[in-house]
C-alpha cells in the first residue's frame, strides 16, 4: 500500500538468529497506464486515487499508434516508479522529444487550490482539452478539488450547447489560443458566459487578447508547463506560493507546484531542476512583479546578428487580413546566418504574398523580423497538447525543399 508521500515500508517479522533486529522491505510502485477514454469523466476515480497518493497514474494520448508508442516508451511502465511521484505526464516535446514528467499529488493540489483562490473560488469547469496533457488533466483535478463534475465539450458540439449543460454558479474554461480565436469568430456570446477563460499552452497574440476584451470575455492568460503542474503565472502574476526570476538563462520558477523531475532520466532532471528552481529555457522579463514571456530561447532566430522571436512574428502575421494562422522558424542562410521563414494559412479568399507580408512585419517589428521566405500550408498542425507543432512544420518544409 502507498501513502501520499510514497510507499510504506512493511516490516519483516524477526526470525531465528535475528534477535530484535527488524529489516524493512521497500515495495516498488509501478505506473498504471490508462488510454485516454472517449468520456474523460471516466478518469475521475483514477485521478481521485492519484491525488490521494494511492495509485500512480499516466494517461496515454489518443492518436496514431506511433504517438501512443512514443508516450509508452517515455513512461517506462516496466520500471519501478520514482519515490514521491503520483502522476506522470508526457510533455509535448518542445525541446525535441517528449519526456515523462514526475508530479507529486501535492503539486497538483497546490496548483488547483491556488487557481481557485486566484479566480475567486471553486466552480464548474468545461473540459475542452486533451486529458493526456497537463491542461486537460488539471481541469479534472480542479473539478475533484471543487467537488464538481466537469462538463465535457463534445466533438463538433457548439460551445453554447455545452455551456447550457453546465451547472449554475461560477463557470470556468481552459482553452488554447486557437480555440479562443475560433469561438470569438463563431460564438462570442458563449465565451461571455464564463467567469474566467484560462488561455495558455502557447503564446496569445496581443491583438487576440484585445479582441476578446472588446467582446467582454474574461480571459486570463496563463504561463506554465507540465513541470509546474500547468499554469502557475496568471496575467503575468505568479500564483500564491510561486516564485519567478529571470536572467540570461531564461525564466526560472519555484514553489509547491514543481515536478520532481523526469522519468528515468536523472541527467535531464539535474540539468533542469536545481536548488528548488526549474529552468524553463523560456526568455522573459520581470518588471514590477509582472512577468512578460518572449518565447523559447531555443526558438530564437538570430539573423544578421539580431535576435528575432518567432512568436512575435507569428502574432503580427495573424493580424494581416490575408493570414488566418502562421508558424515562423529559422533556416540556415549563408549571408544572414539564419533567415526568418514563415508558413501561413491563407484567410478565406485571400492569397498572401511575401511582398505583402514583409513590409507589414517590418513596420511593426523592424526589418530583421520580416520573413525572407514564405510557404503556404493548409493548416497549422498541433501536438497532442494543442500547441502548434512548429518543429514539425519546419522539418516538413525543410525536407520538401531538398
Contact 202, 222 (CB under 8 A): no
Q: Is residue 5 part of a domain?
A: no
The 10 Å CB-count burial string (b at 16+, else e) for 20-41 is eeeeeeeeebebeebebeeebe
Q: Is residue 11 part of a domain?
A: no
Which of 257, 274, 296 represents a domain boundary (last residue)?
Answer: 296
Amino acid 24: pLDDT: 41
The domain that holds 346 is classified in CATH as: 3.30.300.30
Whether 341 and 205 map to the same domain: the answer is no
Provide the grid cell at 269: 532532471
Whether 116 and 254 map to the same domain: the answer is yes
Whether 126 and 169 map to the same domain: the answer is yes
Amino acid 12: pLDDT: 29
Whether 367 and 234 map to the same domain: the answer is no
Contact 235, 289 (CB under 8 A): no
Whether 363 and 233 map to the same domain: the answer is no
> DSSP E strands: which ranges in 136-178?
151-152, 171-175
Residue 234 gets the label, from left (phi > 0), alpha (psi -120 to 50) or beta, of beta
Give the list of residues 6+ apart from residue 248 with CB closer than 8 angstroms, or none: none
d(CA 73, CA 67): 10
Contact 362, 306 (CB under 8 A): no
Q: Is residue 3 part of a domain?
A: no
Whether 273 and 144 map to the same domain: the answer is yes
- Give me the number of domains the chain comprises: 2
d(CA 37, CA 46): 12
Whether 80 and 188 map to the same domain: the answer is yes
Q: How many CB atoms lie within 10 A of CB 44?
A: 15
d(CA 188, CA 321): 20
> DSSP E strands: which ranges in 157-300?
171-175, 196-199, 219-225, 230-234, 237-238, 243-247, 250-254, 261-262, 273-274, 277-279, 282-287, 290-296
pLDDT tens track, the chain, 402 positions: 333 333 333 332 334 444 444 334 457 899 999 999 999 999 999 999 999 999 999 999 987 888 889 899 999 999 999 999 999 999 865 444 579 999 999 999 999 999 999 999 999 999 999 999 999 999 999 999 999 999 999 999 999 999 999 999 999 999 998 899 999 999 999 999 999 999 997 778 888 999 999 999 999 999 999 999 999 999 999 999 999 999 888 999 999 999 999 999 999 999 999 999 999 999 899 999 999 998 888 888 889 888 888 988 999 999 999 999 999 999 988 888 899 999 999 999 999 999 999 999 999 999 999 999 999 999 998 876 667 888 889 888 876 554
d(CA 189, CA 239): 29
Q: Is residue 204 part of a domain?
A: yes
Q: Is residue 48 part of a domain?
A: yes
Whether 196 and 271 map to the same domain: the answer is yes
Whether 51 and 111 map to the same domain: the answer is yes
d(CA 205, CA 58): 32
Which of 296, 318, 347 represents a domain boundary (last residue)?
Answer: 296
Q: Are strands 230-234 and 219-225 parallel, antiparallel or unpaired?
A: antiparallel
Q: At what angle do helices 44-51 and 134-146 cross, to 10 degrees?
A: 80
Whether 220 and 312 map to the same domain: the answer is no
d(CA 252, CA 227): 11
Q: In terms of residue numbers, what domain contains 309? A: 300-401
pLDDT in tens, 264-316: 999 999 999 999 999 999 989 999 999 999 888 888 888 988 888 898 899 99
Whether 307 and 273 map to the same domain: the answer is no
d(CA 330, CA 311): 12
Whether 341 and 274 map to the same domain: the answer is no
Angle at 395 (CA atoms; ends 394, 401), nearest 5 degrees: 90
pLDDT in tens, 191-226: 999 999 999 977 788 889 999 999 999 999 999 999
Give the list of residues 6+ apart from residue 53 with CB closer than 8 angstroms, or none: 2, 3, 4, 5, 6, 86, 104, 105
Q: Is residue 69 part of a domain?
A: yes
Biggest CA pair distance of the chain: 88
Which of 261, 296, 331 represents a domain boundary (last residue)?
Answer: 296
The domain that holds 292 is classified in CATH as: 3.40.50.12780
Amino acid at each position: 500500500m502507498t501513502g501520499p508521500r510514497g510507499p510504506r515500508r512493511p516490516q519483516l517479522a524477526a526470525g531465528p538468529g535475528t534477535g530484535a533486529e527488524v529489516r524493512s522491505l521497500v515495495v516498488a510502485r509501478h505506473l498504471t497506464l490508462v488510454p485516454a477514454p472517449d468520456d474523460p469523466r471516466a478518469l475521475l476515480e483514477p485521478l481521485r486515487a492519484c491525488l490521494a497518493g494511492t495509485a500512480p497514474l499516466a494517461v496515454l494520448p489518443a492518436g496514431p499508434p506511433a504517438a501512443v508508442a512514443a508516450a509508452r516508451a517515455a513512461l517506462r511502465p516496466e520500471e519501478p516508479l520514482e519515490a514521491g511521484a503520483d502522476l506522470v505526464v508526457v510533455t509535448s516535446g518542445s525541446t525535441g522529444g517528449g519526456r515523462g514528467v514526475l508530479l507529486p499529488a501535492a503539486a497538483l493540489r497546490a496548483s488547483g487550490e491556488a487557481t481557485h483562490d486566484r479566480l475567486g473560488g471553486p466552480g464548474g469547469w468545461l473540459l475542452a482539452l486533451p486529458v493526456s496533457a497537463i491542461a486537460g488533466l488539471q481541469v479534472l483535478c480542479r473539478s475533484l478539488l471543487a467537488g464538481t463534475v466537469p462538463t465535457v465539450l463534445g466533438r463538433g458540439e457548439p460551445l453554447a450547447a455545452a455551456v447550457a449543460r453546465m451547472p449554475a454558479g461560477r463557470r470556468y474554461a481552459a482553452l488554447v489560443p486557437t480555440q479562443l480565436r475560433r469561438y470569438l469568430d463563431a460564438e462570442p456570446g458563449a465565451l461571455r458566459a464564463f467567469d474566467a477563460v484560462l488561455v495558455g499552452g502557447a503564446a496569445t497574440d496581443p491583438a487576440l487578447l484585445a479582441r476578446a476584451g472588446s467582446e467582454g470575455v474574461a480571459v486570463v492568460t496563463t504561463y506554465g508547463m507540465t513541470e509546474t503542474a500547468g499554469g502557475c503565472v496568471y496575467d503575468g502574476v505568479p500564483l500564491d506560493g510561486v516564485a519567478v526570476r529571470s536572467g540570461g538563462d531564461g525564466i526560472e520558477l519555484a514553489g509547491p507546484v514543481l515536478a520532481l523531475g523526469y522519468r528515468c532520466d536523472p541527467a535531464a532532471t539535474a540539468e533542469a531542476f536545481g536548488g528548488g528552481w526549474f529552468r524553463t529555457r523560456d526568455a522573459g522579463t520581470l518588471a514590477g512583479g509582472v512577468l512578460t514571456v518572449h518565447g523559447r530561447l531555443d526558438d530564437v532566430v538570430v539573423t544578421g546578428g539580431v535576435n528575432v522571436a518567432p512568436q512575435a512574428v507569428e502574432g503580427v502575421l495573424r493580424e494581416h487580413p490575408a493570414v488566418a494562422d502562421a508558424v515562423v522558424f529559422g533556416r540556415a542562410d549563408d549571408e544572414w546566418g539564419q533567415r526568418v521563414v514563415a508558413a501561413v494559412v491563407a484567410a478565406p479568399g485571400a492569397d498572401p504574398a511575401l511582398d505583402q507580408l514583409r513590409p507589414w512585419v517590418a513596420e511593426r517589428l523592424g526589418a530583421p523580423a520580416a520573413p525572407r521566405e514564405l510557404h503556404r500550408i493548409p493548416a497549422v498542425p498541433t501536438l497532442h497538447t494543442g500547441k502548434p507543432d512548429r518543429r514539425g512544420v519546419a522539418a516538413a518544409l525543410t525536407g520538401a525543399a531538398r
